[in-house]
Amino acid sequence: MLPQRDLRVAVCGTSCTGKTTLANTLYRHPRLSWLFRAFIPEGIQGLLAQNGLSFASMTLEQTRAFQLRYIDWKTKAESVPGSWLADRSFVDVAAVWIERDANDNALNENGIIDSCRALCTNYSCLIHVPRVHRARR
């Protein structure tokens, strides 16, 4: 049975939790791949490379400007019609904004958090991949 409306799924979680691995596995799985017309990659690394940037060398102002460019890129990428699976969500975008700007009380500068909250309503399903803490031996 086909979905009644477009299925829009995003995978979210902190860095190095396996989001991309899970998203790729779901998208390419023979029993599930028919659900999704498109795969929307994370896009951060490509956008950084395209602009000759790295998080390690950016100032706070450059980081903020990059975040705004990324939000614009992600909004356009997720506006494709039909069902899709996204590696990262606007929950992740908001979390990065909060993490990088929490020290100077600019948490909702330019309405970023409110925008991310509103854009999250476009998801049919949000899959959270938690960080697993390994016990020391």
Q: Is residue 35 a part of any domain in this protein?
A: yes
The helix (H) or strand (E) run that includes residue 19 is helix 19-28
The better pLDDT of the pair 32, 5 is held by 32
Phi, then psi, of 3 in degrees rounded to 5: -60, 145
Q: Is residue 16 a part of any domain in this protein?
A: no
Domain that holds residue 100: 21-128
Q: Is residue 2 a part of any domain in this protein?
A: no
Q: Is residue 72 a part of any domain in this protein?
A: yes
- 68-112, pLDDT tens digit by residue? 889 999 999 999 999 999 999 999 888 877 776 655 555 566 678
Long-range CB pairs of 18-24, under 8 A, 24+ apart, other chains included: 18/129, 19/87, 19/88, 19/129, 20/87, 22/127, 22/129, 23/85, 23/86, 23/87, 24/87
Domain count, the chain: 1
Q: Is residue 14 a part of any domain in this protein?
A: no
